[in-house]
Amino acid sequence: MNEIVKAAEDRMKKSIASVQADFGSVRAGRANPQVLDRISVEYYGSPTPLNQVASISSPDPRQLMIQPWDNSLLRAIEKAINTSDLGINPQNDGKVIRLTFPQLTEERRRDLSKQVKKYAEGGKVAVRNIRRDTMDKVKAMKKKGELTEDDVKDLEKDIQKLTDDYCKKIDKLNEEKDKELMSV
């Protein structure tokens, strides 16, 4: 029985990690290298994540500096950033690419806050789907006679508690990200 709950918890942890990755990709006014995680660069004919072809540093809170290990990639990196949904124009000086993050307007903060809420809701839906899948598995085991009625009741309580805990964690992450977005 513990294995069933443990498997559900492992899947829920992955959902939390996914939500955190989504939150990391939302830029919150200051330069964060995670916003570049979703950008791929054409490298020898195949799309390669930007962080695998260049070092990314933050010389000051509003700027990211991208230094490719192969200078021939500067144009490809610049093109990838321009075609992404970042909304920032890269400055290429021939050696490095600089991204300067402007202050967020109030309207943009609200839009990003809505986007963060959607990510959080998606994470909670994923957690609830894990609960449903696990409960289906438990009911199937009961039907086969592998579990008693009491075992099923105990598992239902444990899985529901786990679901509630992970939904609260997602809400807390959402609250923290929202606070970060709304602070000037």
- What residues contact residue 18 under an 8 Å CB cut-off, 6+ apart? 123, 126
> pLDDT at position 105, please?
80
Residues 70 and 44 in one domain: yes
SS3 breakdown of the chain: % helix, strand, coil, rounded to 5? Answer: 65, 15, 20
Residues 81 and 38 in one domain: yes
Q: What is the pLDDT of residues 132-147, one digit of tens each?
A: 999 999 999 999 988 8
Cα–Cα distances (Å) from 2 to 15, 46, 137, 151, in that order, read 20, 44, 13, 11
Q: What is the pLDDT of residues 62-82, one digit of tens each?
A: 888 989 888 888 888 888 888
pLDDT over 90 (residue 171): yes
Q: What is the pLDDT of residues 1-27, one digit of tens each?
A: 688 889 999 999 999 999 988 887 776
- Tell me the CATH number at 125: 1.10.132.20
Q: Which of these three, 66, 100, 134, is where a domain ends?
A: 100
Give residue 137's domain range: 2-24+105-182
- Tell me the CATH number at 96: 3.30.1360.40
- The first and second tokens of residue 22, run together, are 């989504």
Residues 67 and 45 in one domain: yes
pLDDT over 70 (residue 184): no
> pLDDT at position 136, please?
93
> pLDDT at position 147, please?
86
Residues 20 and 87 in one domain: no
Q: Which of these three, 56, 76, 100, is where a domain ends?
A: 100
| 41-50, 138-147, 150-159, range with the lowest pLDDT | 41-50
- The first and second tokens of residue 54, run together, are 């260049």
Residues 78 and 120 in one domain: no
- Round to whole Å and give the CA distance between 56 and 31: 11
- Confidence band for 53, pLDDT divided at 50, 70 and 90: confident
With vertex at residue 49, the alpha carbon angle to CA 46 and CA 50, rounded to the nearest 5 degrees, is 115
34: left (phi over 0), alpha (psi -120 to 50) or beta: alpha
Report the number of distinct structural domains present in the chain: 2
